[in-house]
Amino acid sequence: MATHHNTPVLYNGYGAGYKALRNMPISINPDFFEISDDFVGIVLNATNTWTVVKDSGASVAIIADTTGGEVTLLSAATTDNDGASIQGNEIFTVAADKDIFFETRIKCSDADQTDICVGLTVNFATNPEAMLTAADRIVFQVDDGDASILCKTEKSGTETSTDSGIDMVDATYIVLGFSVNGTGSVQFFINGSIVATHTTNIVDDENLTVAAMSLSGNATGTRATDLDYIIAAQTR
């Protein structure tokens, strides 16, 4: 699905010749392969694009009649650590001279009572919370009890984590993105501004997939995490 994105994350670090690509759908740019979803369909494509992993009381669904499209990851009302996730195929590999760009626009209903994780990870098959303990990943993470947005790179179970200094705010969209610059560094962006740069624990020996996960922080009401879009692209 062709998707337009204009923030500084995409094509970050490229010369003036790449600026024109900001107004071009990535999916028709032969220099990149990508996965992107604006969630504008009637139902989530859980056959050809996404694998849904969720707990018994949780759900994943396209929000009907929403301008621009949204998908919601919804927890059960009476279960702590109940949640849902989506993940794609493991098509991305960190490699020298091959840059990766990731971006999503996301909000949640209760920022300090929700676990959230979005980014690139190895596949997790058992339950959504397994994304939090995946041994190889490049992600943004929010932990239950604290709305702080953490930037994480993790390789073989050893992680580098930086507090971005920015908190999620209830029912308020925020744009999270990062660029993986070969095997040398990962730059993390929030709302288009750089918040962290990592040069350690960058996974370069595993294939990665795009994924998003949300868990309830307590058993006193549903928790909803909504994604407006999600995209990842890599140079060929």
Whether the CA torsion 75, 228, 8, 186 is positive or negative: it is positive
What is the model's pLDDT at position 160?
98
Asked if residue 69 belongs to a domain, the reply is yes
Asked if residue 125 belongs to a domain, the reply is yes
Neighbours of 85 (CB within 10 A): 28
The total domain count for the chain is 1
Asked if residue 9 belongs to a domain, the reply is no
CA distance 125 to 131: 9
What is the model's pLDDT at position 10?
53
Decide if 178 contacts 58 (C-beta within 8 A).
no
Q: What's the pTM value of the predicted model, to 2 decimals?
A: 0.89
Asked if residue 11 belongs to a domain, the reply is no
Asked if residue 152 belongs to a domain, the reply is yes
Residue 18: pLDDT over 80: no
Beta strands in 67-172 (DSSP E): 71-74, 83-87, 92-93, 100-108, 114-121, 137-142, 148-155, 158-167
Asked if residue 3 belongs to a domain, the reply is no
Q: 209 versus 19: which is more confidently predicted? A: 209
CA distance 151 to 164: 7
pLDDT (tens digit per residue) in 154-176? 999 999 999 999 999 999 999 99
Asked if residue 19 belongs to a domain, the reply is no
Decide if 221 contacts 114 (C-beta within 8 A).
no
CA distance 128 to 148: 20
Decide if 69 contacts 38 (C-beta within 8 A).
yes
C-alpha angle 11/15/21, rounded to 5°? 45
Task: Name the residue range of residue 204's domain.
Answer: 34-235
pLDDT tier for residue 27 given thresholds of 50, 70 and 90:
low
DSSP 14: -
Asked if residue 95 belongs to a domain, the reply is yes
138: its two tokens: 């490049």
CA distance 141 to 176: 10
Whether the CA torsion 38, 140, 91, 32 is positive or negative: it is positive
What's the first-to-final CA gap in the chain, in angstroms? 19
Residue 15: pLDDT over 60: no
What is the model's pLDDT at position 126?
82
CATH number for the domain that contains residue 201: 2.60.120.200
pLDDT (tens digit per residue) in 168-206? 999 999 999 999 999 999 999 999 899 999 999 999 999
Adjacent-strand bridge partners of 233: 34, 101
Q: What does each C-alpha distance from 147 to 60, 70, 142, 143, 144 come to in angstroms?
A: 22, 22, 6, 7, 7
